[in-house]
Chain A
Amino acid sequence: MSALAAETGSAEPRERFDALSWLTTTDHKRIGILYVCTSLFYLCVAGGIAIVIRTQLSRPENTLVSAPVYNQLFTLHGTAMIFLMVTPFAFGLANFVLPLQIGAPDMAFPRLNALSFWVFLCGGLVVFSGVLTSGGAAATGWTAYAPLSVLRIAGGSGQDLWIVGVLMVSIATILTSINFITTVFIYRAPGMTMWRIPIFTWEMVATSLLVLMAFPTLTADLAMLLIDRHLGGHFFDPAGGGNPILYQHLFWFFGHPEVYVMILPYFGVVSEIIPVFSRKPIFGYTGLVLAAFAIAGLSMGVWAHHMFTTGAVDDPFFSFMSFLIAVPTGVKFFNWIGTLWRGSITFATPMLFSMGFLMNFLLGGITGVMIASPPIDFQAHASYFIVAHMHYVLGGGSLFAIFAALFFWWPKMFGRKLREDLGKWTFWLLFIGFNVTFLPMHFMGLAGMPRRVYTYDASGPLPLLNFIATCGAYLMAVGVVLFAYNIVVSARDRTPVGPDPWGANSLEWATSSPPPETNFDTLPPIRSERPVFDARHPELDPGLAR
């Protein structure tokens, strides 16, 4: 993180890098960059853990790591990717981009914003500090199901550190969501009506509302877990009148909306990028915004589809609600295809990653509809089929949009572009590597491989499928290393980029790269959701064909 922060400092030749100013900053752009750098740090940590996991599973009955170590590894991998990478990257990106997109000088509550970041950073460190305890880090998966997570094992304070750390991250996420909603509702520039808000900002409003509804349930659930562990509570203990199913209900009441917290911002990212590289407005703007809120609303009523095999939920209701989410998600796909339709399409790296997002997410969406059907879930649940599905959504989906966003907004953040040739290599390594890793996992699951196992049987198709998956993981690792190399060589390039290197649409491209401390010297007139395009094409009527 400090290396990246140093790069940032040198991006502005006028001023020297000043660590204290970064520690005390309340500037939304700097906080956004701190979030992005922190989440990229956790991407490297969690990705490194994934490489150890894949190496352990590259052949049956491998002994690279022991069962207790393996259980900590997949717990930390899931926790870091979900709570410390995919979610906070979106919040960091929105911290940087959202106030600019609506023509605001900063977030509504700058000090609260700084507090959120530091609480989030410390929360992540608390989770990982478990590795320093004698019992090691938490080893119950990112879901920490009770009663397993209630068991107190000698030296096992790793689980407590996990609970406290995730609680801190959860509270930071809630505070930032309040900040986003207030900023969008109060701080829009003159002319920026609600129906001219760029799609990414709309998706962040839907995301923030979801956080406010879902995350308090997580904090309650984790607090109850702490009480059961240390204060003699019996919330989840049947012997004391409690119920283990209650933990699952509360967890997934948070956990399923959290899935959409991790994907809606990235729907926003590709909805910003596809119009720019198709040189057309987004198709069906209103439908796209309504679809975001439909997804957010429906996602509050589907949590128990994670619990079909418990035999303790009303399967048909939750199944039907889950199927319904496919409808607004399909609307979004047709919006993106409609934007490509009759466009003038170029494939710079952000666009390549956005197309990769569409390809991967589509498969994850289709398998998602399949496992919403309980008769299929009875086989797929808790198997590698679910591992494949969930990685197609969050890895092939969100992570590809994260790289699209990095390449797209990097010049705005740091005043110079990342190298395109290296970017395209990164894309192909990650795209091929991703599919080689995760496509075979569907078949592993159907062949009977449960998730969260450190070893498997040497007979049957599993050894070959696992070996293929491990090869793909190494390809992805090469792609990520190449991206890091790209950051270093691009930082040496002193060619400044102008305010708008891509020919883009929304207001952040109307100011210098990087923007001045107060964001804008002047604002162009805002007469549609793409004021920068309107300013570039004064001959066109911005209200045309609306």
Chain B
Amino acid sequence: MSAFGSWSPPTTQAALLRSDWLVFFWTGLAVAALVYGLIFFAMIRWRKRDDALPRQFRRNNRLEIFYTVVPLVMVAVLFGVTYAVERPVESVSAHPDLVVRVIAYRWGWQFTYPVQGITLDSKDPTDGPQMVLPVDRTTRIEITSVDVTHGFWIPAFLFKRDAIPGLLNRFDLRPDRIGTFAGTCSQFCGLGHALMHFSVRVVPDAAFVRWSRSAANAS
């Protein structure tokens, strides 16, 4: 199951997202086992043995109602799980500890820290800028694009959000683990799409303060 992110997801949001993955994965596996099992059983058990015509039955109303209602209940429960997970992931804090503005363009990223007065940009298109975030703090990302639609995706965070011209998207990230995480553009945007990378480095508070001072001086 490590395919759905690491055992200790690096953000509060990713832990929630991962719980949704696991519910759907195990439910899907159970449904697959049942239905594949029924198909294989029927194919083997009732392969042709003689020329006798099998009984020509056409329906079973109670069974048909049963296999309509049970999936209906299942998807209702799955929807409940989805809703319970999505609400906190989508909720945006009124008082974030940090705000980072992301502007996507063909083919690079610009990260701005308005309070700290920092601007980072893609200088080398194959590597991209590195966003630095303090651990255990809520960072609000405000994202838009200046040309076509792009996608801001950090696979380890199990999350992406599109950067769309004329629209400002907001979401919160609360990293709870120190580390460096790769990011890339997920929405096809033309020739440089495959190389439109960036990264996110999560550091302790003190390191963030040191970094933001030197970065503010640099920009």
Contacts of B81 in A (CB 8 A): 373
- Closest Cβ of chain B to A333, distance in Å, is 6
Write the nearest CB–CB distance from B46 to chain A, whole angstroms: 5
Segment of A275-283, A428-436, A476-484 in the binding face: A275-283
B56 touches A540 (CB 8 A): yes
Partner of A382, one of B39, B52, B164, B187: B187
Most buried by B among A316, A355, A373, A544: A373
Provide the residues of chain B in CB contact with A242, threshold 8 Å: 166
A326 to B161, CA, bound (A): 26
Instruction: Flag B52-81 by CB within 8 Å of A: 1 or 0 each.
Output: 111111111001100110011001001101
A503 to B: closest C-beta gap in Å: 11
- Does A456 reach chain B (CB closer than 8 Å)? yes
| Contact status A382-B151, CB under 8 Å | yes
What is the bound-complex CA distance between A139 and B188, given in angstroms?
10
Instruction: Tell me which residues from 114 to 164 in chain B have a Cβ below 8 Å from any Cβ of chain A.
Output: 147-149, 151, 153, 155-156, 158-162, 164
Q: Is the CB of A345 within 8 A of B46?
A: yes
Q: Establish whether residues A280 and B56, one from each chain, have CB atoms under 8 Å apart when the complex forms.
A: yes
Q: Contact at B164–A379, with CB atoms within 8 Å?
A: no
Report B-chain residues with C-beta under 8 Å of the C-beta of A545. 56-59
CB distance from B88 to the nearest CB of A (A): 10
Check if B52 sits within 8 Å of A311, measured CB to CB: no
CB interface residues, A 328-345, toward B, < 8 Å? 330-331, 333-334, 337-338, 340-345
Which of A338, A367, A450 contacts B153, CB < 8 Å? A450
Q: Is the CB of A375 within 8 A of B48?
A: no
Given contacts A312-B167, A344-B48, A370-B28, contact A379 B160 (CB under 8 A): yes
B147 near A147 with CB under 8 A, answer: yes
Do A366 and B86 touch across chains, with their CB atoms under 8 A apart?
no
B64 touches A287 (CB 8 A): yes
Closest to A307 in B: B162
* Number of A-B residue pairs having CB atoms within 8 Å of each other in the complex: 252
Shortest CB-to-CB span from B93 to chain A, Å, is: 16
Contact call B75/A340, Cβ cutoff below 8 A: no
Contact status of A343 and B89, CB under 8 A, knowing A71-B190, A334-B67 = no
Interface residues of B in 21-62 (CB under 8 A from A): 21, 24-25, 28, 31-32, 35-36, 38-39, 42-43, 46-50, 52-60
For residue A337, which residues in chain B have a CB less than 8 angstroms away from its CB?
35, 38-39, 42
Are B49 and A140 in touch, CB under 8 angstroms? no
A453 interface residue, CB < 8 Å from B? yes
A112 within 8 A of B: no
**B residues less than 8 Å from A366 (CB atoms):** 28, 31-32
Cβ-based interface call for A10 (8 A): no
Say which size band chain A's interface belongs to: 35 or more
B48 vs chain A, min Cβ distance (A): 5
B98 at the interface (CB under 8 A from A): no
Taking A286-B59, A452-B188 as contacts, is the C-beta distance between A344 and B53 under 8 angstroms?
yes
Q: Which of A244, A316, A338, A363 contacts B32 (CB 8 A)?
A: A363
B146 to chain A, nearest CB (A): 10
The answer, yes or no, to whether A22 is at the interface (CB within 8 Å) is: no
Contact present for A145 and B32 (CB under 8 Å):
no
Closest approach, in angstroms, between the C-beta of B134 and any C-beta of chain A? 23
Q: How far is the CA of A358 from the CA of B56 in the complex (A)?
A: 22
A544 to B59, CA, bound (A): 11
Q: B194 at interface (Cβ–Cβ under 8 A)?
A: yes
- Output the least CB separation between A460 and chain B (Å): 9
Task: Give every chain B residue within 8 A of A345 (Cβ-Cβ).
Answer: 42-43, 46-48
Which of A311, A320, A447 has a CB less than 8 Å from the CB of B79? A320
Q: Are A378 and B46 in contact (CB under 8 A)?
A: no
A17 at the interface (CB under 8 A from B): no
Q: List 16 A-B contacts (CB under 8 A).
A: A67-B191, A68-B191, A71-B190, A140-B190, A147-B148, A151-B148, A243-B166, A244-B149, A287-B68, A310-B169, A344-B53, A375-B17, A375-B85, A376-B21, A378-B17, A378-B160
